[in-house]
Structure 1
Amino acid sequence: MNTHSYLKGFKDYLKLERSLSKHSINAYLNDVDKLLQFYLAVDKELILNKVQLKDLREFITWLNEIGMQSNTQARVISGIKAFFTYLMQEEMIEEDPTALLEAPKLTRKLPDTLSIHEINKLIDAIDASKPEGMRNKAIIEMLYGCGLRVTELVELRISNIYAETEFIKVIGKGNKERLVPIGSVALKFLEIYVSQIRVHLDIKKGHEDFIFLNRSGSRLSRISVFNLIKSLALTTGIHKNISPHTLRHSFATHLIEGGADLRAVQEMLGHASITTTEIYTHLDRDYLRSVITQFHPRS
């Protein structure tokens, strides 16, 4: 059984049946490629219907030996499990060797958050006199004000903005749609950018509906947003390892610290599971102490 001959089928399965994005599909294919690399490294032939649990445990040992972090290992194992699940569904193998395969125990590393003061510093550092200045202000407001992923931001379309009801339609992971409230401040900056800046761009064909554009009139890239955040952090002297996701994380953290319901935050973030949202419930010790003092009968 030739592994390579089934990768195209697996790719089609991920795209058509699971409706995954191109980025996610490539990640799964890379995970399977790691297994191929392992078999090459140990000078074995990968025969899919002959793979056993002990082989996969040796694979995990190899991942450790090459210095792969536990979080990355867990993702690779998830991809391998998905591949063998696909092979089972297509009746290409009779037993799933990953059924009892355990991923390494993960430590939840909480990403940095920004305080409201730091977020204001980022926005204030943007030079609004430049054509892209108002666009950049709108970008920061949308990332923080709506808790968007960077891909969701660059894919955002004018037709998905419902200003009258103050909601936006977001296309998240797996092409799943969700409605997210947009605050008045974010909406104000967005409308200024669209009505006063964007209208003067020579927009390229096929990019007319994308909100955030670069100088040449094309949809803004993810890397441009990453570079913007890094540049603003440098300008403002914020010595944290921040990215667009930091603003999403700050959005969720500030909501929960303010008393927002976890289920509501889950809905706005587009998390399929509440356990994913729970990472945002880390609260500083002073806040926890104040909760005990205020509400516990023996405080």
Structure 2
Amino acid sequence: MLWQSYINGFKSYLKLERSLSANSVYAYLSDIDKLAQYFISIQKQAKLEDIGISDLKQFISWLNELGMLPSTQARVISGLKAFFNYLLLEEVIIVNPAELIEAPKLGRKLPDTLNINEINSIIDAVDASKPEGMRNKAIIEVLYGCGLRVSELCELKISNIYTQIEFIKVIGKGNKERLIPIGTTALKLINIYLNKVRVHANIKKGNEDFVFLNRFGAKLSRITIFNLIKTLAVVTGLKKTISPHTLRHSFATHLIEGGADLRAVQEMLGHSSITTTEIYTHIDRDYLRGVITQYHPRS
């Protein structure tokens, strides 16, 4: 590919200067690859310094014709803006052609959530008699009890669990650290797993500090957690389409419904902007409306 040396430089820039996670770097590079695929599809050998705003508009139209969702298109545009900004810094180009490209207007979709009975049924569905049973119970409790992203759970380390003060430290997006309170139930399950199950594992070198391990003694992958949640949903007969992120949404929703301060929830979720957290206030309003409908004599 004509652009490969620039893509390699961009990859290093994202890792070293912007300290982005491997998943974020992969997403950015995937966005550039889509642009390259577009030029291949129209049989055009495009030099980066020759790409203009009209080329990018046609590229977005191409994505739209392929049926790409507006939210995905918006992410691709964001990735391209970052790439061309990098080329601007490196003086490969003198103008960022993506700067004036507008992302599609996005509706704010309310996330799916589980009620406490549904969460309890998922935890109860874990077969504790199996070797991974206690680990899986602890995983569900930590995801829901701390509102973690699945990547944060996979990266959770024993050295970052502060049992005495009941807090854990996680590394979120952009390598940002944050402290989150952890409940006694989650701590209890983690301790049982560490002291009665994990202690017998043959741990691979370099994985000694990760809390949750697979049967090969290595840290868990994201796909393992996704499959676990999907399997438990089937076992419990849950009709909702859920993922590990559903437990994070449920954590935030239940806090807001219980009267928690929005800023505190923002801090615990690791949202850089309060507007991201504010989506949960819409769920709260639906909850309050339901309460009035059910209990108020004039409703």
| TM, length-normalised to structure 1 | 0.94
After TM superposition, give the deviation of residue 101 of structure 1 in Å.
0.6
After TM superposition, give the deviation of residue 42 of structure 1 in Å.
1.6
What's the Cα RMSD here? 2.0
1:234 aligns with 2:234: yes
Q: How many angstroms apart in 2 are the aligned matches of 1:167 and 1:285?
A: 31
Structure 1 contact 114–247 (Cα < 8 Å) conserved: yes
Structure 2 contact 257–287 (Cα < 8 Å) conserved: no
After TM superposition, give the deviation of residue 107 of structure 1 in Å.
1.9
- Find the counterpart in structure 2 of residue 261 from structure 1: 261
Q: How many angstroms apart in 1 are the aligned matches of 2:187 and 2:15?
A: 34
1:162 aligns with 2:156: no
Residue aligned with 1:131, SS: coil
Structure 1 unmatched ranges of 5 or more: none
After TM superposition, give the deviation of residue 237 of structure 1 in Å.
0.5
- Paired AA for residue 106 in structure 1: L
- Find the counterpart in structure 2 of residue 288 from structure 1: 289
> 1:232-254 CA distances to partner (integer Å, 9 max, x unpaired)?
10010001111101001100111
Q: How many angstroms apart in 2 are the aligned matches of 1:292 and 1:98?
A: 49
- Find the counterpart in structure 2 of residue 143 from structure 1: 143
After TM superposition, give the deviation of residue 176 of structure 1 in Å.
1.1
> 1:162-194 CA distances to partner (integer Å, 9 max, x unpaired)?
000100000111211111110111111111111
> 1:38-74 CA distances to partner (integer Å, 9 max, x unpaired)?
1111222212222221111111111111111111111
Structure 1 contact 253–282 (Cα < 8 Å) conserved: no
After TM superposition, give the deviation of residue 125 of structure 1 in Å.
1.1
Q: How many angstroms apart in 2 are the aligned matches of 1:222 and 1:192?
A: 23
Residue aligned with 1:207, SS: coil
- Find the counterpart in structure 1 of residue 80 from structure 2: 80
Residue aligned with 2:132, SS: helix
> 1:185-232 CA distances to partner (integer Å, 9 max, x unpaired)?
111111111111111212222111111012222212211111111111
- Paired AA for residue 48 in structure 2: L
- Find the counterpart in structure 1 of residue 12 from structure 2: 12
1:109 aligns with 2:116: no
Residue aligned with 2:216, SS: coil
Structure 2 unmatched ranges of 5 or more: none
- Find the counterpart in structure 2 of residue 24 from structure 1: 24
Q: How many angstroms apart in 1 are the aligned matches of 2:249 and 2:233?
A: 16
Distance change >3 Å, CA 235–CA 27, structure 1 → 2: same
Q: How many angstroms apart in 2 are the aligned matches of 1:25 and 1:60?
A: 21
> Mean alpha-carbon deviation: is it higher for 107-116 or for 81-90?
107-116
1:52 aligns with 2:52: yes
Counterparts of 1:124-273 in structure 2 under 5 Å? 124-273=124-273
> 1:128-178 CA distances to partner (integer Å, 9 max, x unpaired)?
222211111100000000001111111111000000010000011121111
Distance change >3 Å, CA 216–CA 49, structure 1 → 2: closer
Residue aligned with 1:82, SS: helix
After TM superposition, give the deviation of residue 286 of structure 1 in Å.
4.5
Residue aligned with 1:209, SS: coil
After TM superposition, give the deviation of residue 80 of structure 1 in Å.
0.4
Structure 1 contact 144–247 (Cα < 8 Å) conserved: yes
Distance change >3 Å, CA 242–CA 16, structure 1 → 2: same
- Paired AA for residue 202 in structure 2: D
Residue aligned with 1:282, SS: helix
Identity %: 67
Distance change >3 Å, CA 286–CA 213, structure 1 → 2: closer
Residue aligned with 1:272, SS: coil
